[in-house]
Amino acid sequence: MDLLTWTYLLVGLSFALYIGIAIYFRAGSTSEFYVAGGGVSPLANGLATAADWMSAASFMSMAGIISFSGYDGSVYLMGWTGGYVLLALLLAPYLRKFGKFTVPDFVGDRYYSNKARVVAVVCALFISFTYVAGQMRGVGIVFSRYLELPIEWGVVIGMAIVFFYAVLGGMKGITYTQVAQYCVLIFAYLVPAIFISMQLTGNPIPQLGIGSAVADGVPLLDKLDGLLSELGFAAYTSGTKSTTDLFMITLALMVGTAGLPHVIVRFFTVPKVKDARLSAGYALVFIAILYTTAPAVAAFGIYNTLQSTSNQPIASLPPWVQNWEQTKLIQIEDKNGDGKVQYLADPVSNELRIDKDIMVLASPEIANLPNWVVGLVAAGAMAAALSTAAGLLLVISTSISRDLFKTFRPDMSEKKELRIARLAAAGAVLLAGYFGINPPGFVAEVVAFAFGLAASSFFPVILLGIFSTRVNREGATAGMLTGLLFTVSYITYFKFVSPELNSAEHWWWGISPEGIGSLGMALNFLVCFVVSWMTPPPPSEVQQLIQDIRIPKGAGKASDH
C-alpha cells in the first residue's frame, strides 16, 4: 500500500476508535461531565493525564527545539516534568480532598470571595484559550502534511471530532479517549526512535543510544559537539543561555505546569486522596517515557541531518531531504554556487534552513522505515493534539457553566447546568477552530503567557491556601493581581510593544520573558503574605476547611456539596 493510503487508514481507524469510546462512555450527569463521576482508576487517570499534558508541541516540536538548541533545550525537559513533583507533593492530594470540580471552585471557597473566584476564572479561560488555538493549528498542520488537505479542512475535521467527543462525553468520555490516545501517540513516538537508535548506535533503547558511540567508535554527543563547533555553532552539550535565565525559565515552566487548570482538574476524577498521589506518579512515568526519548530523537535527528546534508553535493541528497523540500520544511539555496550544501551558524553564508518539526515528522523516512510507520506518526501527532484540545475545552466549558453561571445562579437545575456546559463546549470548539484557521501572528509568543500566568497567578494562591491558615481573601486577591499584572506587562512589553529590545542586555537581571513568571510568582507570594498579615485572619469555618483538606480521611466523591 502506498503512503497516503496507509495514513488515511491509520488516522481513520484511530478516529473511529475515539468516537466509539466517546459513545460508550458518554456523560449523563454534571458530576460525570465535570469529573467523570470521580470513579477513574489511578492507572487510567495517569494515562489520561499524560495524553492531556503532551500536546502537539511536545510530540512534533520539542525534539526539534532540542536538536537546534542542545543543552539549552533541557529547560523544557526538566520544566515540563519537574512540575509533576510539585503537583503530586503540594497540590493534587489536597485539592482532591477538597472535592469539588474546578480550580476557581477552590480559590472561591478557600478565600471566601466571589471576586477571587472571578479572577481565577479569567486566568483559567485565558490560559486554556491560548493553548487550544495552538492545538487546533497543530491538527490542521498534520492534516495538510500527511493527508494533502488544506490546513483549513484539517482544522474543521479536527473540530468535528473534538466537538463530538468532548461535548457528548464530557470528562468521562474524554478520559477514556485520552487513554487510547496515549497508547497511539507513545507507540508512534517510540517505533521510529528505536529503529534510528539501532541503526546509529546498535543500541535499541534510545535513552542509552544517545550515550553510545556511533560507527567510528566516538560517542555520539562528542561527535555532535565537534561537528557543530566546526560549523560555528555552540557545542551541543553546552548551549548559549545564561545560568540565571536557564534557572528562571525552568522554574517558571515547572511551577506553570503545576498550576495549569486542565492538568489539575484531572486529579478530581479519582476516587481517593491516595489515588490522586499514585496517579500523579503514573502520569509522570508515562510522560517520562516520551520526555526521555525526546532528547535521543533530537540528537539522532541533528546528527543524521548533518551527515546527510552538510558539505554534500546537492544533486545526491537522500530522498527524504527532497521530499520535505517540497513542503518547504527544508529549504536549500546554493548561495556560493559550488553545488554543495553549506550549513553554517553565520546566517549570511548558511545555505540550509530546516524546520524544527522535521526531526519527528521525517524520522520514519530518515530511518528508511516502511510506509505504515509514517501513517502511524501522523495518527500519533493527531492523538497528541486532539487529547490536549479536548482537555482544555472541558476546562473552558466548566469555567463558564459552573464557575460563572452556577456561582451567580445557584438555584439552576442540574439539567440546565449540563446544557450550558455543552453549549459552552460547543462555543469554545468554534472559537478555537477560528483561531486555528486564522492564527494570531503570535501563537508561539502566547505560550510564554500561558505558563507565566499559571505560575504567577494560580500556583502561589493554591499552595498558600493549603499550607497556610493565615493567608486570607485580601492577601490572595492582591497577590494574584500583582503577579498577573507584573508578568503580563513584562511579556507584553518585550514581545509586542518593543520586540526590538527583546535581548539579554535589556532584560531585568537577564531574565527572558519566558522565565519572568518565576519573578511574578515570587512577587505574588510576597504581596500575599504582607497584605494577609495586615488584614484580619480568615473566618473560623475556612480555618476548619483547611484543617480538613490536610487529612485524607473522609474524602468522598467529588461533588457539589
Partner 1 sequence: MPPSSSHMKQYWKKNLQTLVILLSIWFMVSFGCGILWVEELNAYRVGGFKLGFWFAQQGSIYSFVALIFVYVVRMNWLDQKFNVNED
Of 3, 288, 314, 447, which lies in the binding site for partner 1, with binding defined by CB under 8 A?
Answer: 288
Please give the Cα distance from 532 to 254 (Å, whole number): 26
CB of 215 to partner 1, least distance (A): 13
Of 415, 470, 506, 550, which lies in the binding site for partner 1, with binding defined by CB under 8 A?
Answer: 550
3-state class (DSSP) for residue 332:
strand
Closer residue to partner 1 (CB): 220 or 462: 220
If binding is defined by CB under 8 A, does position 557 make contact with partner 1? no
CB of 111 to partner 1, least distance (A): 21
Closer residue to partner 1 (CB): 213 or 317: 213
For residue 347, report the phi and psi dihedrals to the nearest 5 degrees: -65, -25
Considering only residues 138 to 177 of the shown chain, the ones binding partner 1 according to CB under 8 A are: none
Contact predicate 299/236, CB 8 Å? yes
For residue 247, report the phi and psi dihedrals to the nearest 5 degrees: -60, -50
- Using the contact rule CB under 8 A, the part of the chain among 21-29, 245-253, 387-395, 472-480 near partner 1 is 245-253
Please give the Cα distance from 365 to 372 (Å, whole number): 11
For residue 330, report the phi and psi dihedrals to the nearest 5 degrees: -120, 130
- Cell, residue 147: 493527508
Of 1, 23, 285, 497, which lies in the binding site for partner 1, with binding defined by CB under 8 A?
Answer: 285
CB of 219 to partner 1, least distance (A): 3
Considering only residues 257 to 276 of the shown chain, the ones binding partner 1 according to CB under 8 A are: 272-274
If binding is defined by CB under 8 A, does position 428 make contact with partner 1? no
If binding is defined by CB under 8 A, does position 553 make contact with partner 1? yes
Q: Which amino acid, one-letter code, is at 203? A: N
3-state class (DSSP) for residue 219:
strand
For residue 271, report the phi and psi dihedrals to the nearest 5 degrees: -70, -35
Of 64, 93, 104, 140, which lies in the binding site for partner 1, with binding defined by CB under 8 A?
Answer: 93
Closer residue to partner 1 (CB): 152 or 222: 222
- Using the contact rule CB under 8 A, the part of the chain among 86-94, 395-403, 471-479, 532-540 near partner 1 is 86-94
Q: What is the CA radius of gyration of the chain?
A: 24
Please give the Cα distance from 175 to 41 (Å, whole number): 11
**Across the chain, how many H-helices and E-strands are there?**
27, 2
Closer residue to partner 1 (CB): 179 or 273: 273
Strand-pair partners of 352 = 332
Of 78, 190, 231, 329, which lies in the binding site for partner 1, with binding defined by CB under 8 A?
Answer: 78
CB of 233 to partner 1, least distance (A): 16
Please give the Cα distance from 486 to 518 (Å, whole number): 11
Closest CA to 96 of 81, 85, 106: 106
If binding is defined by CB under 8 A, does position 81 make contact with partner 1? yes
Q: Which helix (H) or strand (E) holds 352?
A: strand 352-354
Nearby residues of 152 by Cβ (< 8 Å), 6 or more positions away: 140, 437
Closer residue to partner 1 (CB): 1 or 208: 208
Nearby residues of 482 by Cβ (< 8 Å), 6 or more positions away: 523, 524, 527
Considering only residues 318 to 357 of the shown chain, the ones binding partner 1 according to CB under 8 A are: none
What single-letter DSSP state applies at residue 410?
A: T
Closer residue to partner 1 (CB): 87 or 484: 87
Contact predicate 84/280, CB 8 Å? yes
Contact predicate 26/256, CB 8 Å? no
- Using the contact rule CB under 8 A, the part of the chain among 280-288, 300-308, 407-415, 525-533 near partner 1 is 280-288
Of 9, 39, 71, 481, which lies in the binding site for partner 1, with binding defined by CB under 8 A?
Answer: 71
Task: Tell me the torsion sign for CA atoms 546, 549, 555, 559.
Answer: positive
- Cell, residue 520: 511574578
If binding is defined by CB under 8 A, does position 39 make contact with partner 1? no
Nearby residues of 372 by Cβ (< 8 Å), 6 or more positions away: 1, 6, 10
Closer residue to partner 1 (CB): 88 or 420: 88
Of 291, 303, 324, 451, which lies in the binding site for partner 1, with binding defined by CB under 8 A?
Answer: 291
- Cell, residue 508: 531585568
Greatest Cα pair distance, the chain, in angstroms, is 80
Residue 561 CB neighbour total at 10 angstroms = 9
If binding is defined by CB under 8 A, does position 207 make contact with partner 1? yes
CB of 139 to partner 1, least distance (A): 28
CB of 199 to partner 1, least distance (A): 16
Nearby residues of 541 by Cβ (< 8 Å), 6 or more positions away: none
If binding is defined by CB under 8 A, does position 77 make contact with partner 1? yes
- Using the contact rule CB under 8 A, the part of the chain among 118-126, 277-285, 357-365, 481-489 near partner 1 is 277-285
CB of 553 to partner 1, least distance (A): 5
If binding is defined by CB under 8 A, does position 547 make contact with partner 1? yes
Task: Tell me the torsion sign for CA atoms 308, 314, 319, 323.
Answer: positive
CB of 280 to partner 1, least distance (A): 6
If binding is defined by CB under 8 A, does position 555 make contact with partner 1? yes
Of 4, 19, 43, 85, which lies in the binding site for partner 1, with binding defined by CB under 8 A?
Answer: 85
CB of 55 to partner 1, least distance (A): 18
Please give the Cα distance from 285 to 272 (Å, whole number): 20
Of 262, 277, 406, 422, which lies in the binding site for partner 1, with binding defined by CB under 8 A?
Answer: 277
User: What does the per-residue mask of binding to partner 1 show for 210-239, with x meaning CB under 8 A?
Assistant: xxxx-----xxxx--------------xx-
Residues found near partner 1 in the complex (CB under 8 A): 66, 71, 73-74, 77-78, 81-82, 84-86, 88-90, 93, 207-208, 210-213, 219-222, 237-238, 243, 246-247, 250-251, 254, 272-274, 277-278, 280-281, 284-285, 288, 291-292, 295, 547, 550-555
